[in-house]
Structure 1
Amino acid sequence: MRLPKYVITLECDTPPQVVLGQNIGGGIVKELKEIDVELVTAAQLAKAYNLSVNTVRDKLANINQGTKGKFLYNPNHAHTLLTQKIRRGRPRAN
């Protein structure tokens, strides 16, 4: 007799603390898989971060994974680059 399989999907910033063979909710963990991240367009990122499409393309030019006409980006890398503060000029002297 074959036991049924149940799939739990987690979306989080860090990997979950689950190990193979661990008993969770009466079942035993048999397999752990990380799913590849789908690429997002510059228009989707512009809408999410309230920026113009051209600004997104300029800031993320070095991680573009599409062609010159498609402009596709990994959302995890794009988030870090779009939310970091860029300090310009000389630091203020007190």
Structure 2
Amino acid sequence: MGAHKYIITVESDIPPQILLGQNLGGAIVTKLEQEKLELVSAADLAVKYNLSVDTIRRKLSAINQGTEGKALYNPIQADALLKDRTKRVGRKRAN
């Protein structure tokens, strides 16, 4: 019969506390690996957050991992910076 291989996918902000050789539900952990993160473009983020590409590039200039012409961002860091948008409550200020 032989051993079967099962793949478990876990998503988390912090790494899980799983060790090689650990017994999980009757199975022994033999391999741990982290999936490589795909970078996203400013256009993809503009569609997701309903902002202009120029606004995305301006707000995320500190974490740009691409060139000036092709701005690429880590989706986790970009999400953290773009989610914390402060929304104004009430009417606009009269001058």
Please state which band the TM-score falls in when normalised by the shorter chain.
0.7 to 0.9
Distance 2:46 2:12 in 1: 22
Cα distance, 1:50 vs. partner?
2.1
Gaps of 5+ in 2: 87-95
Which residue matches 1:47? 47
Gaps of 5+ in 1: 87-94
Are 1:79 and 2:94 an aligned pair? no
Are 1:14 and 2:14 an aligned pair? yes
Cα distance, 1:58 vs. partner?
0.6
Q: Normalising by the residue count of structure 2, what TM-score does the alignment of the two structures yield?
A: 0.74
Letter of the 1:13 partner, please give it: D
Cα RMSD between the aligned structures?
2.0
User: Matched residue pairs, number?
Assistant: 86
Identity percentage of aligned residues: 57
Query: Can you list the C-alpha shifts for 1:34-83, whole angstroms capped at 9, x where unaligned?
Result: 12211001111112222111110111112111122211101111122223
Which residue matches 2:30? 30
Q: Normalising by the residue count of structure 1, what TM-score does the alignment of the two structures yield?
A: 0.75
Distance 1:24 1:31 in 2: 13
Secondary structure in 1 matching 2:8: coil
Which residue matches 2:60? 60
Letter of the 2:50 partner, please give it: N
After superposing on structure 2, the runs of 4+ consecutive aligned residues of structure 1 that deviate more than 4 Å are none
Task: Tell which deviates more after alignment, 34-43 or 2-11.
Answer: 2-11
Distance 1:9 1:52 in 2: 34
Which residue matches 1:89? none
Letter of the 1:59 partner, please give it: K
Which residue matches 2:3? 3
